[in-house]
């Protein structure tokens, strides 16, 4: 099962890296005479309304569809782990302040704020990615912090302090490995959330100019073609679903096995 | 006393949240490209004269806090301004769109409860079995699938290919409405059902290991007492805590689902308004959803107070 | 009149857990079911009440009542429900989790009454039931569990368990989670109720002393089976199974200091691995080839006694035990002139909100000396040790160690040398080691914190605490509880500290393992010259290890002095109560 999940994600990653190069057609090349038709030998997934090759557009869109979410996941995970560890280990006013801010951020309807911010102010993917990192981080900080608090009170952590180890060593060598299952799982969840949110933004027509080969945008642009070439919108929807599900399931499995392998 | 302090803290947090949201939403007008004049003019061509007129009419030369205070005063007295695109009071437009979204949300909540609670319990009862693994994996996938992707898949499968449901529209009679709203409601409900399934399963498993459940059975208590006074009341607490999460899923999900199914509710209104930079509508919708979040969270807190004496006596903070 | 007849009870989950257990209980009798963790005693109790956790199945026969009786194994849930509460009831270990947090004490009792009287009479009945368990304040009926102390909760639970007037009460470690004095009260209450009601009681306990004090007959369980049974007094005096004998030898005594504490070597095997042999053979000093040929049956010895041992058990030889091996190392440890003051605590104060944890405590530990700190929960003993370790900042007072002021004052002001002077062994073996690190890297890291000169290697350290060097590559989860505590001791010794604080280091260990660890700590103090500050709730343990002791009560020292003299002739009221609540050691 795990091998399947990793294979799915690896294939998606491969498409993101070399998708542009291996695309059978120019993703932007129009063929208005052809229009929207179903799958054929030349166009495996058919074409859209403007006669553009759906497969090529999917491959061309893989890069941005996956790169930005990876960036969000890496960024939020690094940031929230560092801050959560610090807040949980040190406590004090820094901790209180961070938690108040986190409470506020968590109570906000995040996606709504994102849509409104990016939609009204504009700025494209860059802004959206930044806003997303800001929105996701507080929740993760809270998770890491509460786990850190629990670990810090365990005898091994107190023994480490009693031995006079430096705080950074206690945090990174002693506490962090025991938080690893959660950190890894939440990194994958952040990836999924970012993937879904970014695709969602472009599905709503926010953040990207029309015509960009983007999975979310393709669903939206081609959803009128469900009778002519259903694959034009179903294929990107299925791709997002498969990648998101695989990452979520993998996160769940990794959490299980890492927790068993580590503590108890 | 403890109750008052608890409620006081929660109310304060609610006011703070709404305050931050209102500053953000008001700031939108100033932050939007081209500045407020351009937004307020809509798509119309501007001349220095019209710009000046707009500036005067909307007091744009006043400092930000003053403008904010004036705007907040209007909002609090029920004046949400006029839509730029529709040239109609925002309140009227929203009132017109509300029933569809409300119906959709209510339908989704019904599906969530009717499907989620039993599935979670079944998974817990069959812990570790094939059925449990199936339910758990499915709920994870349901959490991961974006509602718009699911909408398209449902639309194609059940409306286009199988033809069981209509593709577009909302129908006329109540029965037709239910039929028309079924696919959108399912799309909206899937993620929140998954949340309920997982929480219900975890709560039931946790409960099963609790000494007080064993002790209740060991005293030969009647089955209704064990189920209601012991199991249900204690399981209600963790399930209540995800009420807020479900709400968030519902609010944002509605945006995508309405867009995907071409329903003219508040979600598609917001998406349209964002696209057209119809700021007054955006402002009110954001505040409205903020208010809903706040009210639902307060209701959850009240439910906590009713169920858990530890919260009532201030011995424990609600999660 | 026989109340319960259990024959051939076998419990299986993924593996075999309880193997062919026979029990009988008569009316008015208390049967003790004794065993260490993993012996299957609690599962046996659960199976009798038909309350096994999911995934476990019981076979065999559990007959309730005299004569033909009522078969409970395989009975329908409806039948079991009609029996529970009014014929069999179960009292569990942890009063903090046994009661429904959302229901009042009175409601717990009221809902368990067989015939519900109405209105005023119901209230009167609840108050009467509370009085029966020694709660005279009717207002307790309206309290929620979280508003009651552990002892009160256990009394309420007992009233609820007995509300249906059962003939048989199964009490599963009913006092283990409670303080010594409360423990004693609850046990006396249990005895009183048993006598007054003439009911049968199955008392499940890990504590031999409790079993012998309270029970008419005792069954000793080991690795899922019964290895010995008989009248309590006889078993205590002349154990007929080497396991029982070993347990008795490992028991520390509150009345005298034993020259050597002998534990039982090795660990308990899983029941499934020893079905065809004597389960104890691998750890037994008397084992012969015969013991592993076939499984010994419980043979009768007369006078109601049975043993599952083929041999005559050698009498316990208290007079010439082998001396414990010396704890040795070639590296010098911190040395001060013996008798010089090492740790001096003056007027130490700490309050948490309105709760005073330490109300001005003074204490001195001299070089090479071991001092016991005894107290129940809430006495402040743990806060005291945490202040010395720098884990808690006191509100006032002074802590001086080897002439240096190490009083924690706010964060990050721990004296630089403090960690080389004082180290600690913590209570819970399940969290005392970092699960992510191997034993070797834990020890190497600790050693690196000590002075560079004469640093001990990982192998030295493991050898010091009697573990093979091969343990260095293991992760903590591959170690037993006792082994983990040894590694924790090695970690603490790695910096060669002058003072070792032991915060209940054996409280979570089985008695046979506890003896090993105590003997090791005695060796550390005797052979290495390290001073010990030994925190414990257990008077018998402190008698074995500390030369001097102090008694803490509600954050104040109420009595202090030489351990032997203090325990033999306690002066303070509280100390007297503590001493009186210790069950006699056989």
Contact B144 A247 (CB under 8 A): yes
> From C99, which residue of chain B is nearest by alpha-carbon distance?
B212
For residue C410, report the phi and psi dihedrals to the nearest 5 degrees.
Answer: 70, -175
Q: Give the chains touching B; criterion: ≥3 Cβ pairs < 8 Å.
A: A, C
What mean pLDDT is predicted for residues A254-264? 67
**Which member of C391, C427, C432 has the closest CB to residue A156?**
C432
| B58 and B185 both lie in a single domain | no
Give the CATH number for residue B286: 1.10.3720.10
How far does A173 lie from chain B, in Å, by closest CA?
Answer: 30
Structural domain includes residue B187: yes
Q: How confident is the model at residue B42 (pLDDT cuts 50, 70, 90)?
A: low
C176 touches B at CB < 8 Å: no
Structural domain includes residue B179: yes
Structural domain includes residue B87: no
How far does A167 lie from chain C, in Å, by closest CA?
Answer: 10
Least confident of A63-77, A248-262, C368-382: A248-262
Q: Inform me whether the pLDDT recorded for C442 exceeds 80.
A: yes
How far does B247 lie from chain C, in Å, by closest CA?
Answer: 27
Could you give the CA distance from residue C276 to residue C354 in angstroms, rounded to a whole number?
60
Domain segments of chain A as ranges: 2-27+46-261
| B161 and B273 both lie in a single domain | yes
Q: How confident is the model at residue B319 (pLDDT cuts 50, 70, 90)?
A: very low
**Ranked by mean pLDDT, which of A111-115, B124-128, B172-176, C236-240 comes out on top?**
C236-240
Q: Inform me whether the pLDDT recorded for C318 exceeds 60.
A: no
Interhelix angle A110-121/A124-152, nearest 10 degrees:
150
| B63 and B179 both lie in a single domain | no
Tokens of A85: 């560890």
> From B297, which residue of chain A is nearest by alpha-carbon distance?
A107
Interface test with B, best of A5, A114, A119 (most B CBs within 10 A): A119
**What pLDDT was estimated at residue C444?**
94
| B66 and B202 both lie in a single domain | no
Structural domain includes residue B88: no
Q: Give the chains touching A; criterion: ≥3 Cβ pairs < 8 Å.
A: B, C
What mean pLDDT is predicted for residues A129-140? 86
What mean pLDDT is predicted for residues C218-242? 92
Least confident of A141-145, B41-45, C160-164, C458-462: B41-45
Chain A residues in contact with B274 (beta carbon < 8 A): 115-116, 119-120, 204, 206
Contact C391 A158 (CB under 8 A): yes
Could you give the CA distance from residue C153 to residue C281 in angstroms, rounded to a whole number?
42
Give the C-side interface with A, CB within 8 Å: 389-391, 411, 414, 416, 418-420, 422-424, 426-428, 430-437, 445-446, 449, 477, 488, 491-492, 495
Specify the number of domains making up chain B.
2
Could you give the CA distance from residue B33 to residue B98 in angstroms, rounded to a whole number?
29
A162 touches C at CB < 8 Å: yes
**Which member of C86, C92, C146 has the closest CB to residue B220?**
C86
> Is residue C428 within 8 Å of C505, Cβ to Cβ?
no
Q: Inform me whether the pLDDT recorded for C362 exceeds 90.
A: yes
**What pLDDT was estimated at residue A263?**
41
What mean pLDDT is predicted for residues C340-355? 90
In angstroms, the Cα distances linking C410 to C164, C384, C396, C407 are 55, 16, 12, 10
**Which member of B259, B277, B286 has the closest CB to residue A204?**
B259
What residues contact residue C212 under an 8 Å CB cut-off, 6+ apart? C32, C218, C232, C233, C235, C236, C583, C584, C586
Of B41, B76, B111, the residue at which a domain comes to its end is: B76
| B291 and B214 both lie in a single domain | yes
Contact A121 B290 (CB under 8 A): no
Residue B52: give the domain boundaries: 2-76
What residues contact residue C361 under an 8 Å CB cut-off, 6+ apart? C345, C347, C348, C349, C380, C384, C397, C552, C555, C556, C557
| B161 and B239 both lie in a single domain | yes
* SS3 assignment, position C30: strand
Contact B310 C81 (CB under 8 A): no
**Which member of A162, A164, A262 has the closest CB to residue C435?**
A262
**What pLDDT was estimated at residue C157?**
95
| B27 and B158 both lie in a single domain | no
Strand spans (E) along C84-130: 88-91
> Is residue C440 within 8 Å of C458, Cβ to Cβ?
yes
Q: Classify residue C322 by its DSSP letter.
A: P
How far does A146 lie from chain C, in Å, by closest CA?
Answer: 17
User: What is the 3-state secondary structure of C507-549?
Assistant: CCCCHHHHHHHHHHHHHHHHHHCCEEEEEECCHHHHHHHCCEE
**What pLDDT was estimated at residue A262?**
45
Tokens of B59: 């007091």
Read off the pLDDT of residues C183-203 as tens digits, 9 standing for 90 and up: 999 999 999 999 999 999 999
For residue C549, report the phi and psi dihedrals to the nearest 5 degrees.
Answer: -150, 160
Chain C residues in contact with A163 (beta carbon < 8 A): 419, 423, 445-446, 449, 491, 495
Could you give the CA distance from residue B212 to residue B218 in angstroms, rounded to a whole number?
9
Q: Inform me whether the pLDDT recorded for A107 exceeds 50.
A: yes
C54 touches B at CB < 8 Å: yes
pTM for this entry: 0.85
What mean pLDDT is predicted for residues B306-313? 81
Distance of CA C239 to the CA centre of its chain: 22
Q: Classify residue C361 by its DSSP letter.
A: E
| B180 and B268 both lie in a single domain | yes
Q: How confident is the model at residue B260 (pLDDT cuts 50, 70, 90)?
A: confident
CATH class, A2-27+46-261 region: mainly alpha
For residue C557, report the phi and psi dihedrals to the nearest 5 degrees.
Answer: -80, 120
Q: How confident is the model at residue C319 (pLDDT cuts 50, 70, 90)?
A: very low
> Is residue C40 within 8 Å of C34, Cβ to Cβ?
no
* Gyration radius from chain A CA atoms: 22
Evaluate the CA torsion angle C303, C309, C311, C315 in order and state its sign. negative
| B53 and B123 both lie in a single domain | no
Of B20, B50, B76, the residue at which a domain comes to its end is: B76
Q: Inform me whether the pLDDT recorded for A120 exceeds 60.
A: yes
C488 touches B at CB < 8 Å: no
ipTM of the complex: 0.85
For residue C562, report the phi and psi dihedrals to the nearest 5 degrees.
Answer: -60, 135
Find the Cα–Cα–Cα–Cα dihedral B280, B285, B286, B291, rounded to 10°: 130
Contact A120 B31 (CB under 8 A): yes
| B72 and B103 both lie in a single domain | no
């Amino acid at each position: 099962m795990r091998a399947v999940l990793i294979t799915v994600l690896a294939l998606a990653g491969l498409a993101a890296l070399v998708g542009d190069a291996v695309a059978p057609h120019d993703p932007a090349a129009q063929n208005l005479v052809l229009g929207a038709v179903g799958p054929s030998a030349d166009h495996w997934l058919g074409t859209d309304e403007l006669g553009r090759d759906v497969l090529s557009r999917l491959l061309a869109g893989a890069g941005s569809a996956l790169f930005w979410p990876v960036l969000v996941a890496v960024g939020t995970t690094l940031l929230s782990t560092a801050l959560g560890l610090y807040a949980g280990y040190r406590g004090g006013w820094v901790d209180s302040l961070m938690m108040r801010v986190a409470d506020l951020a968590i109570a906000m309807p995040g996606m709504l704020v994102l849509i409104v911010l990016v939609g009204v102010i504009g700025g494209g993917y860059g802004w959206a990615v930044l806003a997303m990192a800001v929105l996701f981080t507080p929740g993760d900080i809270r998770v890491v912090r509460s786990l850190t608090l629990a670990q810090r009170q365990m005898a091994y952590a107190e023994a480490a302090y009693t031995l006079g180890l430096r705080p950074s060593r206690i945090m990174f060598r002693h506490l962090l490995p025991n938080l690893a299952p959660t950190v890894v799982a939440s990194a994958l969840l952040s990836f999924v959330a970012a993937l879904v949110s970014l695709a969602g933004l472009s599905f709503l027509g926010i953040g990207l100019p029309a015509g960009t080969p983007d999975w979310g945008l393709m669903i939206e642009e081609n959803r009128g073609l469900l009778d002519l070439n259903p694959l034009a919108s179903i294929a990107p929807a299925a791709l997002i679903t498969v990648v998101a599900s695989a990452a979520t399931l993998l996160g769940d499995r990794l959490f299980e096995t890492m927790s068993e392998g580590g503590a108890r | 006393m403890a109750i008052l302090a608890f409620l006081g803290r929660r109310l304060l947090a609610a006011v703070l949240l709404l305050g931050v949201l209102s500053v953000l939403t008001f700031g939108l007008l100033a932050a939007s490209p081209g500045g407020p004049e351009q937004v307020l003019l809509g798509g119309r061509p501007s001349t220095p004269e019209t710009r000046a007129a707009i500036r005067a009419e909307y007091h744009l030369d006043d400092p930000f806090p003053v403008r904010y205070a004036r705007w907040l005063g209007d909002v609090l007295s029920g004046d949400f301004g006029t839509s730029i695109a529709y040239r109609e009071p925002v309140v009227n437009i929203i009132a017109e769109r509300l029933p569809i979204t409300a119906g959709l949300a209510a339908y989704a909540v019904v599906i969530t409860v009717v499907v989620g609670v039993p599935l979670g319990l079944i998974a817990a009862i069959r812990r570790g079995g094939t059925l449990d693994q199936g339910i758990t994996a499915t709920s994870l996938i349901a959490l991961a699938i974006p509602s718009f992707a699911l909408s398209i898949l449902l639309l194609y499968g059940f409306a286009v290919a199988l033809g069981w449901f209509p593709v577009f529209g909302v129908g006329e009679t109540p029965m037709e409405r239910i039929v028309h709203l079924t696919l959108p409601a399912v799309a909206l409900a899937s993620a929140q059902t998954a949340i309920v399934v997982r929480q219900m399963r975890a709560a039931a498993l946790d409960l099963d290991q609790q000494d007080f459940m064993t002790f209740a059975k060991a005293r030969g208590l009647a089955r209704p007492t064990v189920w209601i006074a012991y199991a249900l009341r204690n399981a209600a607490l963790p399930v209540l805590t995800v009420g807020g999460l479900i709400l968030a899923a519902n609010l944002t999900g509605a945006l995508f689902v309405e867009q995907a199914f071409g329903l003219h509710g508040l979600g598609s209104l917001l998406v349209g308004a964002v696209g057209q930079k119809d700021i007054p509508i955006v402002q009110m919708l954001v505040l409205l959803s903020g208010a809903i979040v706040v009210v639902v969270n307060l209701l959850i807190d009240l439910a906590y107070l009713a169920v858990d004496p530890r919260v009532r006596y201030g011995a424990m903070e609600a999660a | 009149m026989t109340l319960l007849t259990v024959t051939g009870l076998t419990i299986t989950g993924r593996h075999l857990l309880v193997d062919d257990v026979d029990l009988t209980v008569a009316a008015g009798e208390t049967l003790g079911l004794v065993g260490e963790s993993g012996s299957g005693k609690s599962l046996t109790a659960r199976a009798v009440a038909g309350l096994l956790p999911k995934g476990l199945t019981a076979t065999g026969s559990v007959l309730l009542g005299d004569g033909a009786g009522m078969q409970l194994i395989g009975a329908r849930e409806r039948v079991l429900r009609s029996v529970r509460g009014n014929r069999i009831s179960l009292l569990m270990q942890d009063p903090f989790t046994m009661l429904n947090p959302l229901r009042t004490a009175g409601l717990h009792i009221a809902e368990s009454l067989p015939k519900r009287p109405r209105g005023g009479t119901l209230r009167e009945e609840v108050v009467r039931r509370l009085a029966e368990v020694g709660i005279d304040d009717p207002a307790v009926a309206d309290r929620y569990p979280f508003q009651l102390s552990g002892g009160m909760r256990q009394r309420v639970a007992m009233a609820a368990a007995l509300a249906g007037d059962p003939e048989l009460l199964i009490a599963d470690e009913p006092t283990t989670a409670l303080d010594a004095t409360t423990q004693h009260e609850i046990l006396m209450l249990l005895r009183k109720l048993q006598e007054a009601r003439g009911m049968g009681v199955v008392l499940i306990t890990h504590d031999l002393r409790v079993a012998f004090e309270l029970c008419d007959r005792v069954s000793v369980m080991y690795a899922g089976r019964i290895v010995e049974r008989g009248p309590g007094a006889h078993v205590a005096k002349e154990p007929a199974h080497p396991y029982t004998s070993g347990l008795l030898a490992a028991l520390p005594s509150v009345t005298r200091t034993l020259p050597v504490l002998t534990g039982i070597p090795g660990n308990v095997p899983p029941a499934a691995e020893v079905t065809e042999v004597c389960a104890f053979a691998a750890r037994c000093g008397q084992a012969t080839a015969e013991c592993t040929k076939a499984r010994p049956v419980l043979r009768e010895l007369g006078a109601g006694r049975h043993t599952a041992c083929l041999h005559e058990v050698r009498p316990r030889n208290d007079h010439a035990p082998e001396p414990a091996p010396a704890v040795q190392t070639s590296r010098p440890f911190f040395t001060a002139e013996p008798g010089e003051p090492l740790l001096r605590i003056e007027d130490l104060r700490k309050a948490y909100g309105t709760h005073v944890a330490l109300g001005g405590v003074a204490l001195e530990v001299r070089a090479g000396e071991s001092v016991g700190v005894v107290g129940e929960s809430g006495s402040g003993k743990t806060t005291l040790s945490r202040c010395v370790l720098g884990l808690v900042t006191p509100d006032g007072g002074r802590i001086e160690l080897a002439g240096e002021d190490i009083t924690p004052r706010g964060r990050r002001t721990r004296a630089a040398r403090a960690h080389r002077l004082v180290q600690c062994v913590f209570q819970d073996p399940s969290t005392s080691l970092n699960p992510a690190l191997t034993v070797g890297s834990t020890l190497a890291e600790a050693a690196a914190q000590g002075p560079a000169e004469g640093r001990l290697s990982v192998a030295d350290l493991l050898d010091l605490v009697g573990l093979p060097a091969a343990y260095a590559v293991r992760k903590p989860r591959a170690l037993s509880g006792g082994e983990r505590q040894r590694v924790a001791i090695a970690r603490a010794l790695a910096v060669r500290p002058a003072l070792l604080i032991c915060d209940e280091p054996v409280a979570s260990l089985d008695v046979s393992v506890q003896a090993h660890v105590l003997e090791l700590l005695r060796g550390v103090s005797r052979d290495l010259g390290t001073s010990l500050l030994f925190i414990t709730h257990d008077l018998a343990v402190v008698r074995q290890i500390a030369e001097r002791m102090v008694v803490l009560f509600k954050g104040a020292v109420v009595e202090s002095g030489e351990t032997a003299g203090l325990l033999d002739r306690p002066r303070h009221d509280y100390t007297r109560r503590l001493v009186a609540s210790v069950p006699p050691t056989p």
